[in-house]
Amino acid sequence: MALADTFTRPTSLAPRRASETYGGMPRIDGAGMRALVEWVDEIAALTTPDRIHWVDGSRAENDALLREMVDEGKLIKLNPEWRPGSYLARSHPSDVARTEARTFIASEREEDAGPTNNWAAPEDIRATITPLFAGSMRGRTMYVVPFSMGAVGGPLSHIGVQITDSAYAVTSIGIMTRVGTDVLREIAGGAPWVRTVHSVGAPLEPGQADVAWPCNDEKYIVHFPDTLEVWSFGSGYGGNAILAKKCFALRIASVIGRDEGWLAEHMLLIRVIDPKGKRYHVAAAFPSACGKTNLAMLRPTIPGWRVETLGDDIAWLRPGPDGRMWAINPEAGFFGVAPGTGESTNVAAVETLWGNTIFTNVALRPDGDVWWEGLTDTPPAELTDWEGNPWTPASGRPAAHPNSRFTVAASQCPQIAEDWDAAEGVPLDAILFGGRRATNVPLVLEATDWTHGVFLGSNISSERTAAAEGTVGELRRDPFAMLPFCGYNMADYFGHWLKVGQALRFDRAPRIFQVNWFRKGADGRFLWPGFGDNARVIDWIVRRLDGTVDAVPSAIGRLPRTEDLNLDGIDVPREDLAELFAIDTASWLREADLTEEFYRTFDGRVPAPLWAELAALRYRLQRA
């Protein structure tokens, strides 16, 4: 029996109430639950779905949704011999990535959004999107998905509800979050929750056939930080549709964290275990294409060292009553970029994808398995590409879309920590910031204190092509790796980092470091081997935490003595090692000018301590 047949069907397309037309709504009472039902009624009256289903998060429900999508041609079931329980989705070519140009922060005041966000006045943007949502779910099922970021009821967790007309989004949310009636009990008991609404914007007329990937050319992703809402229209892809991810867990959560005294960060979270079994917890913020997932699933090349994965993308950090910083990974799954993920770069990620995975926009092999660029060194002789067309290595185009994805439960990662989803989280020992810098930034440096660390985080950047050729040219700024994801004025966000640091005991606050795996020599060659050998940098950081090695003061921060780096088993020429830590005063002074230029875009809102750090940097450079 098809899942749709289990729903109560209305007798007309007139606006209806959730209490009249629903499937699976649990009989949970409480003021919070009544408010939720009232809200669902309002959205149903606006979007006029044919039916409403309350998602319970069960395996049977998920399997039924997947079977129905296969029957409708929206998913391809992969060969169970190679990928049991796995599926391939192909999106419309116009719907393949985050739509940042159509992503808005609708705060009451424009200055609260800041210059790095697209701002819209709340009343104006509501007047724009409300007509788009009117009738947008006609002919479709409206799913009500209660979800928790972090363990349900946990001290660091937050919950939300997503309304969506996309079964693909429902199954993805089921992987990425904790979905179920336990969340509804939290709401019924009075727990606050975030409202999120999503429609692919493709209503169906009676008798009209659906398409494999419904979407709309008109797209909006609108965040209302003052009322803790997200409204997404027109896209069925990734973070545009899985609103618990970037929209809630970063943009809205950053606002909640600002108001409650904690941090929602675009950070991986790992546990590093030394040969003696001592454990250290590290969070790291890297922009895209800077080795974030590889570090999250690092397999050290140093004998005796281990890394356990706690999270690969988002971390929520809170000062604890003990003066330490505590962190959780609020997600339950990995939503990773497939191209470039292979056994030579990230074997742990490849092993995680053995089954129970939803792939999107990768290539299909003749044997019913999947492939993407970087999965193997040699591509198969023939494939079906991400758009459903025949492909061979001679085709002259990628087989998988560059932003193709996999969605898989974190629990499948072979090196996931046993307590990765502990409600109380883990105490942080170190925070790393890094970008892709061919010049200037050394392999690793330590901040002198928390304020200096915030200064480093505010200046994360990657060099564009001209800079990669050896000069400090235009920098692509991505402060704290949060530029697309901060839900309020980024200068105020810098100030919030400073404020949070004041809630930590100076001797228990995580130490802050900057790393750069991507520095190049004059010949354009990478100077550091990277990948598993990045554990050698972690080794030095750990010894700094333990106080067993000294650091060398410099104009830009504390640097290692090269003899303190564990280079056993690898060949890094002496001249390369020197270049990895070389500081060119003239280049750094030019970079300081670029930092001043960047700070001035915030119209005087950058906190005074960061201006003081910039002045101190210039002073030290001029005296060097």
Residue 607: what residue type? Answer: P
d(CA 519, CA 542): 22
Count the Cβ atoms, other than its own, within 10 Å of residue 192: 12
Long-range contact list for 7-16, CB < 8 A, 24+ apart? 7/51, 7/52, 7/53, 7/141, 8/51, 9/50, 9/51, 10/50, 10/51, 13/48, 13/50, 13/138, 14/48, 15/44, 15/45, 15/46, 15/48, 16/44, 16/45, 16/48, 16/52
Eight-class DSSP state of 245: I
Q: Report the relative pairing of strands 363-364 and 370-371 from DSSP bridges.
A: antiparallel
Which single residue is written with the structure tokens 């970021």? 149
Cβ pair 467, 474 in contact under 8 A: yes
Neighbour tally for 131: CB within 10 Å: 10
**Distance (Å, rounded) from C-alpha 624 to C-alpha 611?**
20
Q: How far apart are CA 228 and CA 264, in angstroms?
A: 15
Cα–Cα distance list, 605 to 113, 179, 481, 602 (Å): 12, 39, 19, 6
Looking up tokens 């005063």 gives: 585
CB of 464 within 8 A of CB of 284?
no
- Convert 463-484 to b/e letters by CB count within 10 Å (16 or more is b): beeebbebebeebebbbbbbbb
Q: Looking at residue 249, what DSSP letter applies?
A: I
Give residue 577's Cα distance to chain centre: 33
Among the listed residues 215, 247, 290, 486, the single catalytic one is 290
Tally of CB atoms within 10 A around 311? 25
Q: Which of 479, 435, 430, 419 lies closest to 455, judged by CA?
A: 479
- Which residue has tokens 């008798």? 207
Residues 408-446: b if buried by 16+ CB within 10 A, e if exposed: bbbebbebbbeebbbeebbbbbbbbbbbbbbbbbbbbbb
Classify residue 382 as left (phi > 0), alpha (psi -120 to 50) or beta.
beta
Q: How far apart are CA 2 and CA 72, in angstroms?
A: 10
What is the rounded CA–CA span in Å between residue 106 and residue 129? 12
How big is the chain by its Cα radius of gyration, in Å?
Answer: 25
Q: How many CA atoms lie within 13 A of 422 on its CB side?
A: 13
Quick one: CA torsion of 176, 58, 24, 55, rounded to 10 degrees?
10
**Is 290 labeled as catalytic in the residue annotation?**
yes
Q: Which residues are catalytic?
A: 290
